[in-house]
Chains A and B, each alone.
Chain A
């Protein structure tokens, strides 16, 4: 979106027509409210950006089907000329005509028709250029079908519009909606409006509506419509004085027969406008982030760089884009309904006065007077930016232009921003509501994303702090490494040909996050279907599993106007976190995943794990929807966003930690309850504190040795060929374990049945050496160094017999021989172990043995005795031997 500059924000409101009571759709589900349909259709308008059109910014739904639309706005309109009362000069008329036609042509290209052209909807910016307002009303209301009021103004309606009739809900004889109007209707309206400008007075305003409309229809029999109109209003003289090209233009516009009337596009290229056309350069759409052409291709720097800074005003806010300004306006306490109420546009009666008297069993109500406050008043109210500017008056100018090359810190060092950096420690919810902080973050992310993929690493670093909600869609795309001409790729996918999965998709979509207005709108459903189909069609080895719809939801919501990006993000997300989850037979993948998950529960919370195992409440019963949908099935969207903000930074084993963190929040209730209650509890998951969950899962992640979550069915490491320097993700906490090159000391795949038999996870030798901070051989590739604090402390516990131990062991390890620690039935002798382990509370216990079976039994006992963070060294001591790191204790003297 283009910068605000001298524009203002305007809001107007209208009501969608209410649905008849208790009517179901053809699929048996309740009908979608008209306001939601409009809301869905509105979204595309946000992408229609043209210098001659008022940019649409936002729509919001109020009570009782009220809609409030926010758009770019200017105080002056063509009505100002009428207030002056004198005719407008022919040159000015031609300029207005040309500019308006430019706007109309652009709309038509996007399949839209204005239909509501009137002097007060043609605004003028400060330079006197035309800006068409309310151009999307006809589109968003489905050609007027979703609202009670007719779209357009009686004096300016084209004859064919009148002839096609009006649809009125209270009129039972007229059920069928009129046909949609074409682009040429706008040309008539424009013509009449130009004529008014030429003669300097309103036409047809004085007679009542039905007479006016009849008069317009009779114009068909006239030879010279302009003369007739002028005579009718006694201004024939003025018309006669008009230059020939203006008259010709008017005649073309006011052609009665639609087939002979030119379209806006034809009129623009018409010789009558030739003189004006020369003054204008055609509008070129700026190149977007993901495109095949070079974004900086047309960048021309002046020879003298200082020229760039010359025309800088003080109003930096005005240089931000309109949607950013509006977003900040809302954060600074802006309330649309309040603004409109203050101006008297929203007038509501107390509800107690509008109650019906009587209702039939089927819900039809009687005795309710028609409420005048539901009538249309389409006055646009200017939203005052004073409050926002006041709020931001102390923000230093540097904040608007952060230096990206400063590697030290992302935050500029000024006094005010020191306060802002203190804000980083505040809870996320508060940060997201803080105007100054969001301004800072938005500016920063906007710059970084514009420099994507060059500044990819910095995006990663900043995303660790937080992601501003306004730019979340793009930020995620950057974090997921989406690149290239995604639109072309998406266009090339066949999303129309029916496929067998269609039926299932059709069933699932109306059940997926439908509390959300956007996703429940018909437009949302269409987009859902297309993105899902595109994914299914382009991944022939994978299939649609229920849950894919939920997974798609956050991407679609964030990139509602950019299906290609939603699709690209989803396609990047799934292999990263859900590799092969969508195979036709995915049982081995899921089974392994769940087994690792239960090992993680045992690792972090043995008490809970013991209880859950005792009552038989295994992850298979509840965790499949969690992981298959990456929690999108269980949480509402706003929680998913916060969860995923961290998830997309983590590697593929991060979800385990989230799962454990969720269980821990419900810990008390789970421990107190038996199987049935637990099933009931999880059938409708209670409220989860997401920020707490995120913190806890990061904490858990730091305590988890990387190789503990090894899965043989995880995504195989990328081959170096597609690592072209950039695509290697620098993960938040550590690179994905699976991405590391395989070596002899990595973990080896285990049979599923064996894996299931082990309560505690195994860790690899490699990981063990790293954690023990043993100096490895030179060729040994240590993964990226973690800071010391982030590294879990480790306790190596050798359970071999003491003779074996003395023959050679890992430095720093302690020895509790398996034989002494376990009783006759294999029970753990408490005293023997506790006395030893007491001194090492909170450390990760790595059990080392030479028979894996012994180790796994021993750990099982430790877990049973509620020892947290117990794991097994994969391969035992035998694998350690070749590293040459074993030491022999010096014989005691």
Chain B
């Protein structure tokens, strides 16, 4: 990529300077490289020094030297320019192609010559929403969102109820049949029944899924139309009715507090905060937080709205189109879907509330799948162009893996989804990890760690200022994860993240960030405190400000 310019055609030219000292005539010849890189006065000073030139020729030499260089440089320019024109007239370069390249360069990079922008609904909506949420109307918006959320919640609980009832009915039926097994009913009948049950279950689930989809679709459309209308109304100054409405509303809405539930939840969450300084000379301040919680706690809305929840919702809504986004790293397997494990749980959470701004999760995932395929195609075509020596066995392994299924992703790669309906998160980084992360011996060169680095880089380029990272690179604990394993893993991730954060300072000029390290819920309190004592040993915690000093 590094363009080697000018280096190919350096030419050496001889500078000749004649002068007389007394009756002697002297000539000074100096070979000079063109194009000239160095400063004329430096060259002059060096010549004077090196050849022990008498001081009375100093000025003559200087003027001769600079005019020589000027002349020769112009000649070089002329030669190059004429060559370029000749190439054109001889037909070595295609005029059309040349002109088109220029035209493209202009149209793709300058506003003056670019094609006019097609109006984008998303961005217009983003502007409108951002303006409204920062106005007194925000309360109305949030209430509306909350009401929509409640209706979806109702629907979901209805669904759960029906599914549960259905299942119970099936169990009863099945029990009945099992009792009759051997008498009137054969094994085959049981199998038929089981499959019937399964099919019925599927039908029911699909029905509900469709209904949900429909309702959310309607909600989204209603909401967006309403937001646009509200904006138009607000722009119209003599329409005071809406303003009144907005002003009145907040007082009406005081929600019942359900403190018991909340207290219980907060007890389970352990967290500790640190303020740190990074950098050798110029220090930047960042906030770190160590949190013991379930990863989906950052996504779930508490079902029963309370003051804190509403504030959190407002916070998330305010910053949605701002330049301080919140991100979350979710560890996923190599398939882009939402059928299994944490992906399924996440998908469930994301459906609990309508996303009024971005496409539904499934649509986003479909998009990602297409992009993955495109990326693979790009990559392989590039590799065919410049065949590289395969680096090691692992690389070949990877390649094979890809050939089998190009839509799968590899460890260290990640896809990004955007959400407006999660409680504390706007952006989710789905980082692909494999079973290696469960082993104890991963290094700083592990793909998962490199993935973290790239995630932080995206955070830099796209203003994600709060990021939550699973510290142990797992979401659930299992038996092989002993205390030493945890400590070793935590140290590795702390240190790597510290390194990346220092690197980030050079990418974005040291913007203050918040990094939350997440440890699984199932970890012991003792372990948590061990980790929290480890953190200040790795990061330099800022000194406390003493207001009173002894001296």
Contact = CB atoms under 8 A, between A and B. Distances in A.
B426 interface: yes
B44 interface: yes
Contact of B371 (A357, A377, A514, A633): A357
B415 A635 contact: no
B239 interface: no
A515 interface: yes
B506 A361 contact: no
A518 to B, nearest CB: 13
Contact of B111 (A349, A375, A493): A375
B281 A209 contact: no
Nearest to B77: A182
Interface stretch (B91-99, B139-147, B196-204, B257-265): B91-99
B542 A686 contact: yes
A556 to B, nearest CB: 15
B107 A209 contact: yes
Nearest to B416: A355
Given A160-B81, A515-B510, A491 B113 contact: no
A154 B111 contact: no
B46 A357 contact: no
B84 to A, nearest CB: 4
A162 interface: yes
Contact of B367 (A21, A220, A367, A492): A367
Interface stretch (A170-178, A289-297, A725-733): A170-178
Interface in A646-678: 664, 667-669
Contacts of B176: none
Residue among B45, B89, B542 with most chain A CB within 10 A: B45
Nearest to B511: A63
A236 B271 CA distance: 82
Contacts of A170: 108
Given A179-B6, A515-B505, A350 B322 contact: yes
Interface in A324-383: 349-361, 363-367, 370, 372, 375-378
A23 interface: yes
Contact of B82 (A149, A258, A357): A258
Contact of B374 (A160, A211, A366, A376): A366
Contacts of B389: none
Nearest to A515: B282
A492 B81 contact: no
A134 interface: no
Interface in B415-470: 415-416, 418, 426-427, 447, 450-451, 453-454, 457-458, 461-464
A263 B74 contact: yes
A14 B275 CA distance: 36
Nearest to A185: B81
B375 A149 contact: no
Contacts of B98: 162-163, 165, 213
Given A180-B6, A352-B426, A669 B543 contact: yes
A183 interface: yes
Nearest to A143: B5
Interface string B125-139: 010001000000000
Interface string A142-167: 01010011100010000110111111
Contacts, number: 275
B106 A352 contact: no
B418 A352 contact: yes
Contacts of A496: 38, 42-43, 46
Interface in B377-426: 378-379, 409-416, 418, 426
B506 A360 contact: no
Contact of A150 (B41, B106, B464, B550): B106
A515 B101 contact: no
Contact of A213 (B74, B103, B111): B103
A588 interface: no
A367 B1 CA distance: 22
A378 B279 CA distance: 36
Nearest to A221: B89
A208 B447 CA distance: 49
B303 interface: no
B416 A159 contact: no
B111 A377 contact: yes
B5 to A, nearest CB: 5
Contacts of A145: 3, 5
B106 A209 contact: yes
Given A220-B89, A495-B42, A376 B320 contact: no
Nearest to B73: A182
Contact of B321 (A164, A209, A352): A352
Contacts of B104: 168, 171
Contact of A497 (B41, B46, B409, B551): B46
B331 interface: no
Contacts of B453: 363
Contacts of A687: 277, 283, 542-543
- Please report whether the interface of chain B is mostly helix, strand, loop or mixed according to DSSP: helix
A366 B5 CA distance: 30
Contact of B368 (A168, A209, A367, A492): A367
Interface in B237-255: none
A173 to B, nearest CB: 9
A253 B232 CA distance: 57
A20 to B, nearest CB: 5
B21 interface: no
Contact of B93 (A163, A168, A181, A350): A163
Interface in B45-84: 45-46, 48-50, 73-74, 76-82, 84
Given A493-B45, A496-B46, A355 B462 contact: yes
A514 B100 CA distance: 41
B161 interface: no
A145 B6 CA distance: 12
Contacts of A208: 103
A761 B493 CA distance: 50
B325 interface: yes
B49 A492 contact: yes
A771 interface: no
B94 to A, nearest CB: 11
B281 A491 contact: no
A353 B126 contact: yes
A176 B99 contact: no
A245 to B, nearest CB: 25
Contacts of B106: 149-150, 154, 209
A72 to B, nearest CB: 23
Contacts of A361: 410-413, 447, 450-451, 454
A359 B454 contact: yes
A62 to B, nearest CB: 9
A871 interface: no
A371 B428 CA distance: 21
Nearest to B321: A350
Given A213-B99, A359-B413, A366-B375, A259 B510 contact: no
Given A160-B82, A359-B454, A376-B111, A353 B46 contact: no
B42 A179 contact: no
Contact of B49 (A181, A352, A494): A494
B81 A176 contact: no
B101 A165 contact: yes
B304 interface: no
5 contacts: A162-B102, A182-B76, A358-B416, A492-B45, A664-B551
Given A148-B108, A149-B105, A492-B48, 5 more contacts: A168-B105, A349-B126, A375-B109, A376-B111, A378-B110
Q: Closest 10 interchain pairs by CB? A: A182-B77, A160-B81, A361-B412, A149-B109, A350-B321, A210-B99, A636-B282, A258-B81, A367-B371, A163-B84
Interface of B: 1, 3-6, 38, 41-46, 48-50, 73-74, 76-82, 84-85, 87-89, 93, 95-96, 98-114, 117, 122-123, 126, 130, 277, 279-283, 320-323, 325, 367-368, 371-372, 374-375, 378-379, 409-416, 418, 426-427, 447, 450-451, 453-454, 457-458, 461-464, 503, 505-506, 508-510, 540, 542-543, 546, 550-551
